[in-house]
Amino acid sequence: MAGQRNVGIAVDFSPCSQAAVHWASENLVRGGDRVVLVHAVSCYQIEQGVINLWERSGSPLIPLNELCTPNVCKQYAVEPDSETLKMLEQMASQKRVEVVAKVYYGDAKAKLLEAIERVPLDCLVVGSRGLSKLKRALLGSVSSHVVANALCPVTVVKK
C-alpha cells in the first residue's frame, strides 16, 4: 500500500506502555498505517521450542487476533493484559489499521533499536516509567537510550 507507515509502539503491557498505546492512537496513528508492537522478553527459558527459533531475529509479525490467543502467548512467552488488547482492537477497527506484534528476546534497549532497523519502523512511541535522576543513572533508562541512538523519530510518553 502506497504511503503505509510502520508505526512502532514499545509495549511491556505495563501502565506506562498502555499510556504509549493510548497516545499513539489519539495523536499519531492514521488510516492505512501498520502498527507494530515491539515487545522485548528479557527473562525466558532458552529451551522453550519456538523461542529457540526466534532468539536472534525476533518472532515473525504476529497479527493482533493471534496475539489474543493463549496458545500464541505461551508459544512466544508473552503475557498481554486485557486492557491493552482492548485498546489495540479499538484502534484497529476505528482507525482501520493493521496491528501486529514483533517479540524479541533479550535487552529491551538493544532490541528496540534492532526493531527500528529490521522491521523497519518509521517512528517509535515508548512509555516512560518516570524514574528519578538517581534511579535512571543506576538502572539506566530504556527510553533515554532509544532516543539517543534511534534512526527514526521517537516519542516518549509519560503516564
* pLDDT tens figures, 110-159: 999 999 999 999 999 999 875 555 444 444 588 889 999 999 999 999 87
The more confidently predicted of residues 3 and 72 is: 72
Q: How many Å from the N-terminal Cα to the C-terminal Cα in the chain?
A: 33
HSE value, Cβ hemisphere, 13 Å, CA-based, for 111: 24
CA distance 148 to 101: 24
3-state secondary structure of 57: coil
Average pLDDT over residues 18-31: 96
CA distance 52 to 50: 5
| pLDDT for residue 141 | 80
Contact (Cβ atoms closer than 8 angstroms) between residue 64 and residue 101: yes
pLDDT at 44 over 80: no
CB 90 within 8 A of CB 82: no
Residue 136, pLDDT score: 46
pTM score: 0.88
Q: Which helix (H) or strand (E) holds 105?
A: strand 98-105
Average pLDDT, the chain: 87
Show the domains of the chain with their CATH numbers: 6-158 (3.40.50.620)
Neighbours of 142 (CB within 10 A): 23
pLDDT tier, 1 (very low <50, low <70, confident <90, very high otherwise): very low
Q: Is the pLDDT of residue 49 over 90?
A: no
